[in-house]
Amino acid sequence: MAEKPVTNGNTPEDGDDVRRALVALNLVHGDRGLICALGQRLRTAGELRSDRFAEEAASSLEAPPDRVRTILHAARGRLDDAGDEMARASENGIEIVTLLDRHYPPALADLGLQAPPVLYVRGRLTPLPGISIVGSRKADAYGLEVAAWFARRLAAAGLIVISGFARGIDQAAHRSALAARAGTGRTAAVLGCGIDVDYPRNSRRTAAEIARHGCLITEFPLGWQPRAHHFPIRNRLIAALGFASLVVRAARRSGSLITARLALDLGRDVYAVPGSVLSRESAGAHLLLRDGAIPALDPDAMLETLPTPILAQLESPSTDTAEPTRPAAGAVPEVDDLLVALKDGARTPEELASRLERPVPGVLATLARLEVDGLVRRYKGANYALAAR
């Protein structure tokens, strides 16, 4: 199964019917790997009813023909449900993105036939680079502090922090990323359930905040409850969406190690935070370090080693051109405007206020928060300049 998925934007003439067929296929319970692979091959809605398509797909995928026919038959029976699903998603501000769509994440192409044919997105997909931060649900204070430190600093540099929205390290990373860049840091949460399900419980407020400054994303249909086998499935998306992965705390047997191994298989860099040799929650990270993972000792040191293409994307404000799936309430555009204004050299708050046509107190408040994030520095004479990376 080394083939690449359908190229983004190669929409057949009956694109709407094919999208509905893909959603219907995605509604089927069963072998997710086979469902994804069949979705890659689907070119017309009629192929759900084609015995020839079933036979050819089973042969090329080396899958049991009866299993392929069963999945396609189930998908045919869900076509009306798929129409209802698409309408319900639209009514609730959720975008359904198929691999036929232009803004399907290109990074997922590296998953080949295991790339999900359908994604549910609340918020906005963006082409800016992301880094995955994962770790234990039962992290100690050290793990939570380190995750927050790395997430805030990396998000302040413009990276999207990607994680799995679980309690512990994941949510610490999400919340700290949101606090970066004077409250405009971006993060993406990859879910192991339907996008409308409150899981972990009582997390709706955090989920809403993530959707305002990033996105929630899942391949699981609306209303699907979290199941143990969903999380290893969702981990491949976390690994693929980031250009690198950072493991903060992980036991020897954990989902975080699964994500790290998947990232390595995809050719991504993997960083790991060392901890106490006496801590079970550091054992997994230490295994990764033994096997060649990059030690993560300081977020600024990580930033200094970013690949040139990633740095180029971060330094170009025009790269963030993705259309929001709904208005991004609470956005603070003055942050990026102020950073751009400082690219020409140091300025006083008064000079910045005049240039940006904004009140001086507001500019001072934004500068103070950016200084905390490590994006600007204050020099003698009340001059502010971009912090050296």
Output the domain CATH number for residue 368.
1.10.10.10
Domain identity same for 305 and 348? no
> Is residue 328 scored above 70 in pLDDT?
no
Asked if residue 276 belongs to a domain, the reply is yes
> Is residue 161 scored above 50 in pLDDT?
yes
d(CA 119, CA 241): 13
Domain identity same for 23 and 83? yes
Last residue of a domain, one of 284, 313, 342: 313
Asked if residue 58 belongs to a domain, the reply is yes
Domain identity same for 165 and 291? yes
Average pLDDT over residues 187-209: 97
Domain identity same for 306 and 340? no
At 137, list the tokens.
């649900």
Last residue of a domain, one of 265, 284, 313: 313
Range of the domain at 348: 334-386
Residue with the larger pLDDT of the pair 131 and 14: 131
Cis peptide before 200 (omega within 30 of 0): yes
Domain identity same for 217 and 76? no
> Is residue 326 scored above 70 in pLDDT?
no
> Which pLDDT score, from 0 to 100, does residue 136 have?
93
Question: Could you report the per-residue pLDDT of 81-100, keeping only the tens digit for each?
Answer: 999 999 999 999 999 999 99
Give residue 184's pLDDT band: very low, low, confident or very high (50, 70, 90).
Answer: confident
Domain identity same for 159 and 66? no
Q: Which of 43-52, 112-121, 170-179, 380-389 has the lowest mean pLDDT?
A: 380-389
> Is residue 295 scored above 90 in pLDDT?
yes
State the distance between the two ends of the chain, measured CA to CA, in whole angstroms: 41
Average pLDDT over residues 182-204: 95
d(CA 215, CA 200): 16
pTM for this model (two decimals): 0.85
Domain identity same for 229 and 341? no
> Is residue 11 scored above 60 in pLDDT?
no
Mean per-residue pLDDT of the chain? 89
Considering its fold, how many domains does the chain have in total? 3
Domain identity same for 188 and 249? yes
Last residue of a domain, one of 261, 281, 313: 313
Question: Could you report the per-residue pLDDT of 39-83, keeping only the tens digit for each?
Answer: 999 999 999 999 999 999 999 999 999 999 999 999 999 999 999
3-state secondary structure at position 214: strand
Output the domain CATH number for residue 261.
3.40.50.450
Closest CA to 281 of 144, 133, 131, 132: 144
d(CA 280, CA 143): 12
Asked if residue 227 belongs to a domain, the reply is yes
CB of 150 within 8 A of CB of 345?
A: no
Q: What is the CA radius of gyration of the chain?
A: 22
Domain identity same for 191 and 243? yes
Domain identity same for 341 and 307? no
CB under 8 Å to 128, separation ≥6 — which residues? 158, 159, 160, 186, 313, 314, 319, 320
Asked if residue 372 belongs to a domain, the reply is yes
Residue with the larger pLDDT of the pair 325 and 349: 349
Asked if residue 7 belongs to a domain, the reply is no
Domain identity same for 194 and 300? yes
Average pLDDT over residues 238-242: 97
Give residue 386's pLDDT band: very low, low, confident or very high (50, 70, 90).
Answer: confident
Domain identity same for 287 and 195? yes
> Which pLDDT score, from 0 to 100, does residue 15 have?
83
